[in-house]
Amino acid sequence: MDLTHPEGGERVTLRDVAVRAGVHVSTASRVLRRRDRGTESRGRLSDTAERVRRIADELGYRPDPYAASLRTQRTDTFGVLVPALTDLVLATIYDAIEETAKERGYDTFVANTRDDLEEQRRRVDLLLDRRVDGLILGDARLDSTFVDELAARDVPFVLTSRRHGAHPSVTCDDELGGRLAAQHLLALGHRRVAVVAGEPYASTGQDRTRGFLDVCRESGVRVPASRVLHSRFDVAGGRAAAERLLAVRTPPTAVFAVNDFAAIGVMGALRDYGMRVGEDVAVVGYNDVPIARELPVPLSTVRSPLREMGEQAVAALCARLDGQDIGVVRLAPEMIRRASSVPVRRDQG
């Protein structure tokens, strides 16, 4: 067996490379470290450097990132917190975060917090134990001072998906998104409208709902509190809210759900009540996830730039680590009209 190139056995360390190349380990470190910097173009390599690199390649040397961080006090990793990866919205944002971070030389650690305050604290502590260089939080809650505490502790972080006060964040302009939805439904002639508003502690639901209601008010359309219901952001949540909305004498002719999955739940409830989506009740969602357009009744929705949010969140965190000051970034939403929302019928009055 070829003991000089251990495959499944012991790892090749910098020392192995150095010994083999007949140089000191510090020399080997410098040579290999420079390579990473990419400043290759500046002049030819010395013989030694050439040799060290060749041997490192031959031996399949891979530096131990932990040993390096121990010394440098940097880990080149980010921690990412999400309420749940099974939520396609957050999964998409995380996907973009991971990809962008990698391009910039960072690895990421994700953690699910199930929107639980205790879990949020625990997971952040675990991530900080792992010496992450910064955090991206996708689960900020308006009813918690946790992000304020983080800021006070000087932990570098950026919020995404949900914003929180003046803390650095990259989100969709949800208030505008809510306004677009309202303008759309009102333009179709709907006057008896309802909102499936999401969790009260999430800025997403709150802002979308506020924008929506603001436009209604400005247009003189009254929306009683009984037609604005909080809900979970998933299918079951939308369904539960819709069941309450429909169990009245004059149900709404249009429902704005602040999340596509909740909107799908609303559609399910409508079906069970014998009502046709679009024809009997208009439904508008939020985010424009890929299935929205393929549903048996394609879902009208407000598109939010999910991947862009992830990308910019990483950019913002990097900028922050560079000492720059990033503020609150809001990306533009776009109204997508589909078959689930059509003009109100006369008899729906």
Structure tokens, 140: 């900020």
130 lines the binding site for its own copies (CB under 8 A): yes
Q: With CB under 7 A, what is the number of residues at the site for DNA?
A: 29
Q: Which stretch binds its own copies (CB under 8 A): 83-91, 220-228, 250-258, 325-333?
A: 83-91
Q: Which stretch binds its own copies (CB under 8 A): 14-22, 47-55, 88-96, 222-230?
A: 88-96
- Least distance in angstroms from the C-beta of 11 to its own copies: 8
48 lines the binding site for DNA (CB under 7 A): yes
Answer for which of 4, 5, 22, 149 binds DNA (CB under 7 A) is: 22
Q: Which of residues 224-243 bind its own copies (CB under 8 A)?
A: 234-236, 239
**Cα–Cα distance measured from residue 263 to residue 284, given in angstroms and rounded to the nearest whole number:** 7
3-state SS, residue 214 = helix
The answer to whether the beta carbons of residues 269 and 242 sit under 8 Å apart is yes
3-state SS, residue 43 = coil
- Which regions of the chain does DSSP assign to beta strands (E)? 77-82, 107-112, 134-137, 157-160, 169-172, 193-196, 228-229, 254-257, 282-287, 300-303, 328-331, 334-336
Site string for its own copies, 257-296 (x = CB under 8 A): ----x--xx-xx--x-----x------------xx-xxxx
Q: Identify which of residues 15 and 271 has a Cβ nearer to DNA in the complex.
A: 15
Q: Among its own copies, DNA, none, what does residue 282 contact (CB within 5–8 Å per kind)?
A: none
What is the amino acid identity at position 133? D
C-alpha angle with apex 233: 228 to 239, nearest 5 degrees? 65
324 lines the binding site for DNA (CB under 7 A): no
C-alpha angle with apex 73: 20 to 320, nearest 5 degrees? 125
66 lines the binding site for its own copies (CB under 8 A): yes
Phi and psi (nearest 5°) for 226?
-70, -15
- Which regions of 181-263 does DSSP assign to beta strands (E)? 193-196, 228-229, 254-257
Contact residues: its own copies, CB under 8 A: 7-8, 62-67, 69-70, 75, 84-86, 88, 91-92, 94-95, 98-99, 107, 109-112, 125-126, 128-131, 152-155, 234-236, 239, 261, 264-265, 267-268, 271, 277, 290-291, 293-298
Contact residues: DNA, CB under 7 A: 11, 13-15, 22-27, 29-33, 46-49, 61-64, 67-68, 70-73
